[in-house]
Amino acid sequence: MRLLLHVPKAPDEWRDAFVRALPGTEVRAWAPGPAWQADYAAFWHPPRELLDGQARLKAAFNLAAGVDATLRSLALPPGVPLVRLEDAGMGKQMEEYVAWAVLRYFRRLDDYARQQARAEWRVHRPPRHDEFPTGVMGLGVLGLRLAAMLRALGFPVLGWSASRKVLDGVRTFAGAGELDAFLRATRALVCMLPLTPDTAGLLNRATLGRLPPGAYVINVARGGIVVDDDLLALLDSGHLAGATLDAFHAEPLPAAHRFWSHPKVFLTPHCSALTLVEDSVAQVAGKIRAFERGEAVTGVVDRARGY
């Protein structure tokens, strides 16, 4: 069996991990030129010509959960399934990041940080959990984990997705017709949506303006879902109380962007959930073995829907 590999960072670490996980498999890094015929390909940030001439390819693996960049840049052979990572060690990291962000706003630690800068000693009344409903947009594998985690922390949890989901202890909404009701009931909005033609720019002045006054936005998905100027305008007006952002239209975020200096914005360099080599390789290897046995696998991307 042959595996074609393309990863911009730590290629030797990825190659060695695949060799250990799939004994007897020849693993080769992609290089320009005549196609080395492979049975499977695994990649991140692939060049468009990566799979050109691959006549025997059985499946292609995207070494991340998000596939928007891959669908834009890669020429996929017809009939070859594209499979994305599902969790692979990212779920726990995402739980920690989102729990911290929600609790920071819930306990008004952002306000205390600003007071510290002014040497201001002032205590705020502790809020009640039922005053702080949290809404998760996007109920995929990671979104479901976040909803369960937030519920365990004691918050009322709402969930919104394109298609109907029924979750124990979570008030769910589906489709464009129920987005308004979801937003109006949400105090802290956590965006976990994939970036698709339907979600690009979805969080704009109109939609974010439906959040109640004093609401918060936490985006750990893709920057293209948020209209930056609209978010800034709502922060400036006081309608939104704060935003925690981990994904941006351009990365690295340009130094001149207002997000860097805005007093109500906390940002991180797209690090809320990093891809872990061993966990990711173990998942991909397991799915390759399933393909070889003729079994179905999860995580296959619907190219028409974009995720």
DSSP 4-44: EEE-SS-HHHHHHHHHHHSTT-EEEE--SSS----SEEEES
Cβ contact 69:82 at 8 Å = no
204-207: Cβ within 8 A, 24+ apart: 204/230, 205/230, 205/233, 205/234, 207/179, 207/183
Cβ contact 151:169 at 8 Å = yes
Per-residue pLDDT of the chain (307 residues; tens, 9 = 90+): 999 999 999 999 999 999 999 999 999 999 999 999 999 999 999 999 999 999 999 999 999 989 998 999 898 898 999 999 998 899 999 999 999 999 999 999 999 999 999 999 999 998 999 999 999 999 999 999 999 999 999 999 999 999 999 999 999 999 999 999 999 999 999 999 999 999 999 999 999 999 999 999 999 999 999 999 999 999 999 999 999 999 999 999 999 999 999 999 999 999 999 999 999 999 999 999 999 999 999 999 998 888 8
Cβ contact 71:83 at 8 Å = no
pTM given for the model:
0.92
3-class secondary structure, 271: coil
Residues involved in catalysis: 222, 270
Identify the burial level of 174 via C-beta atoms within 10 angstroms of its C-beta, where 0-12 means exposed, 13-18 middle and 19 or more buried. middle
Q: What is the pLDDT of residue 251?
A: 97
Distance CA 126, CA 119 (A): 21
Distance CA 236, CA 263 (A): 10
Per 3-state DSSP, what percentage of the chain is helix, strand, and coil (rounded to 5)? 35, 20, 50
CA torsion through residues 107, 109, 111, 112, sign: positive
Cβ contact 22:285 at 8 Å = yes
15-20: Cβ within 8 A, 24+ apart: 17/277, 17/278, 17/281, 18/42, 18/281, 18/284, 18/285
Q: What is the pLDDT of residue 126?
A: 86
The domains found in the chain, sorted by start residue, are: 2-88+275-292 (3.40.50.720), 90-267 (3.40.50.720)
Q: What is the pLDDT of residue 135?
A: 98
